[in-house]
Amino acid sequence: MGQRRMYMKYFKFMMYLVVVVLVNLAGLTLFFRLDLTENKIYSLSEASREVVSTLSEPLTINVFFTRNLPAPYNTIERYLQDLLKEYAIRANRFFNYRFYDVSPEAEGATETARENQKLADNYGIRPVQIQAFEKDAVKFKKAYMGLVMIHGDLIERLPTISSTDGLEYRLTTAIQKLNDKISALLNLKEKLNVTLILSSSIRQVAPVIGIQQIEDYPEKTRRIVGSLNEKMYGKLDYTYIDPSISGDSERLSTEYKLMQLRWPAMTDENIPAGSGMVGMVVTYGKKAREIPILRAVRLPLIGTQYELTPIDRLEETIGEAIETLIDINEDLGYLESHGTLSVSARPESGRQPSDGLSSFSSLVSQRYSLKPVRLAEGGIPESLRCLVIVRPTQPFTDYELFEIDQALMRGTSLAVIVDAFKQEMPGAQQPFGAPPGPGFVPLDTGLGKLLEHYGLRIAPAIVMDEHCLSQALPRQMGGGEVPVYYVPIIQNQNINQKLDFMENIRGLIGIRMSPVWTIADRISQNGLVAHTLFSSSEKSWEMRDRIQLNPMFLSLPPEGTERKRYPLAHLLEGEFPSYFDGKPIPEKPVDTPRTAPAEGVKTPPPPAGAPAAGQPETQVKKIEKKGDVIRKGRPAKLFVMASADMLSDSVMDPEGKTPNTVFVLNLLDTLNGREQIAVMRSKQQRFNPLRESASSTKTLVKAVNVAGLSILVVMFGVCVWWRRHMRKKQIQRMFQEQTGGGI
């Protein structure tokens, strides 16, 4: 019997041992991690997982980090190790990383450590000086805290990692930068198709409209696509469709937005009545990108002119369309005309103006290539995913508004950040008694009619808010603080956090903002979706007409003034209808001489496509065109905010960590189709303010904290005393019952 018990004991021990071994083996293969933080800051974002799982070439990360660093640097290496481990779990076989020992000489560096220090120096990773508290004394020591990423022949460095804030964002964006167009092309599961759609019938009217070069266009396009195919690893196919022969005109006009021409019989040129279609389409799977290779432009004095994309620019145009189609385009358009704030301007004497955009330019350039757009010098490129317009002060012509409208129709998202007023400095003849400081006059550039057509209206007013920042006064002015009502504090409850890129934005600071109202009927009619991103508090009012923003002369409005929330920023998305639907194309302004040339001065030749001398312009007018105006656009987004100061250096910080800065960067990523990057960036937002409470609520909380705890202790003591008293009486009754009621 005893021997059997001993065998059972050994059997149980072996079973427990097998279970422990199996659990450990399962732990090596099955990865499970629970992140209980609200923003999931210790979990990889979806964008990070996608980037490392789609690597097509080996990526190696070499980390040079000094060991046993003092607080707070000692946690950075541990966090970096955990982060790279999770990258490795989510990545494919091309992801590798390694930590190098770079212990300093004072800590007995080995020969290997010295070699690693030389390797770090070769990669451009230099030691930095940090503070250390040892034996109640402050000491300074040098430490390596950087890494280098090697992807093919490309190298990207993070020379100094002094904090864990935003580290995942920095790593992921750097890896994505390295995983460039080559990697994207190698991962394509099918080929891109470049299709030229050109009706042979158009060749009959080509001399009339001045596009004779269209005769050789199909063959030259085939050669260009063939040359481009060699650079893109054989991922391109070329197709030429002649709708005049294939009979696909109706299907193609429904599926794509291309130029269509229709002309009557021209007896003088022996041209019969006919029609045709011309354009180019790049397709990949179900996605398509049209390239308008023929444009119709109206010029004053000359009339309608047709412009064909030059064959020498066709390769660049196709390349830009391909980059946009497979989502590797990182250009961000910025309007640098019409008096907009310049992102390339440099301050004088080393001083930065308060309304400069150097912080905005620096932060955006880390993620995008800012591409200046000047409407008078070539228009808006078709490859742009987003165009930013900041504080234009000069009016737009109808043709320039047409270009902006058609860019939105092509699917280019717009960020319109304007001012409703123009600031003017007071003159020498300032009225007596007028408050000092600049004045403000209404500003109308013409963009307002476009925005109202889409469903948004900017009110000619400045929002004032009682919940605002305060400005400290100097002693000579009495000290204290004065409220700056035109700098509202946007509270957490007034921010739309239902959108992913706004989820972790818990507070913002506005400055000189005008209300942006939605036109509900227009938005519903257009089939768009409107999102109010943030609003002022319910204690807000408007300042209209005579605008004066000197804080010393501002006061609360009189009793009876309406106070309410005012919407300050909106995002529209959907398929926008064109403002120019049913309207003729506006004339394109050109510089033409208004007087006759002087004697002996040769007259410049007419532009290409203009009617030849002696040729009646009525022949060109007889040609009907269709598809020159995109009447219903592709899905796009439109953001409108009436405060350009929100992008100034006085609001955006150079490090990109404040909620205002994160909001702007998240917005641009969202407009550019990279919302996952925006979500990953905002994970690091730890600003979590308390909700504003009423005075009665604050008084109640104070009373509970001061007297409530004491009352609870007394009540608990009374309950304990009462319980003991009742137990004592119960024992007495039980004793009396057992003794018969007496002693």
What is the predicted pLDDT for the residue at 354? 47
What is the predicted pLDDT for the residue at 456? 96
Question: Model confidence over 6-60: pLDDT tens digits?
Answer: 778 788 888 888 888 888 877 666 656 666 666 666 678 888 888 888 887 788 9
Q: Are strands 632-641 and 287-291 parallel, antiparallel or unpaired?
A: unpaired
What is the predicted pLDDT for the residue at 68? 79
Per-residue DSSP letter, 31: -
What is the predicted pLDDT for the residue at 211? 83
What is the predicted pLDDT for the residue at 644? 93
**Going by C-beta distance under 8 Å and a sequence separation of 6 or more, which residues neighbour residue 238?**
193, 194, 195, 196, 221, 222, 225, 226, 229
Structure-derived torsion over alpha carbons of residues 238, 410, 293, 377, reported in degrees to the nearest 10:
-130
Closest CA to 659 of 511, 508, 548, 537: 508
CA distances from 135 to 69, 75, 131 (A): 15, 21, 13
Amino acid at the residue 175: I
- Nearest-angstrom CA–CA distance, 550 and 485: 10
Closest CA to 367 of 42, 47, 41: 47
Structure-derived torsion over alpha carbons of residues 598, 604, 605, 611, reported in degrees to the nearest 10:
-60
**Going by C-beta distance under 8 Å and a sequence separation of 6 or more, which residues neighbour residue 267?**
none
- Nearest-angstrom CA–CA distance, 736 and 708: 42
CA 484-438-354 angle, to 5 degrees, is 65
Amino acid at the residue 120: A
Phi, psi of 668 (to 5 degrees): -65, -40
Phi, psi of 25 (to 5 degrees): -65, -40
Q: With beta carbons less than 8 A apart as the criterion, state whether 65 and 144 touch.
A: yes
Beta bridge partners of 148: 62, 157
Instruction: Find tokens 């045709």 and name the residue.
Output: 276
Q: With beta carbons less than 8 A apart as the criterion, state whether 622 and 263 touch.
A: yes
Question: Model confidence over 550-573: pLDDT tens digits?
Answer: 888 888 888 888 899 999 999 999
What is the predicted pLDDT for the residue at 676? 84
Q: Are strands 259-263 and 624-626 parallel, antiparallel or unpaired?
A: antiparallel
What is the predicted pLDDT for the residue at 619? 65
- Nearest-angstrom CA–CA distance, 158 and 124: 9
Structure-derived torsion over alpha carbons of residues 177, 179, 182, 187, reported in degrees to the nearest 10:
-140
Structural tokens at position 218: 């199909």
**Residue 11 CA neighbour count, 13 Å, CB half:** 6
What is the predicted pLDDT for the residue at 630? 85
- Nearest-angstrom CA–CA distance, 356 and 651: 10
Q: With beta carbons less than 8 A apart as the criterion, state whether 217 and 200 touch.
A: no
Closest CA to 457 of 536, 515, 517: 517
**Going by C-beta distance under 8 Å and a sequence separation of 6 or more, which residues neighbour residue 142?**
104, 127, 128, 129, 130
Closest CA to 347 of 333, 332, 331, 359: 359
The list of the chain residues with pLDDT below 70 reads 1-2, 27-42, 105-109, 132-138, 152-154, 180-182, 300-302, 327-329, 344-355, 425-438, 477-479, 590-628, 683-694, 740-743
- Nearest-angstrom CA–CA distance, 583 and 344: 37
Instruction: Find tokens 């794509």 and name the residue.
Output: 256
Q: With beta carbons less than 8 A apart as the criterion, state whether 391 and 417 touch.
A: yes
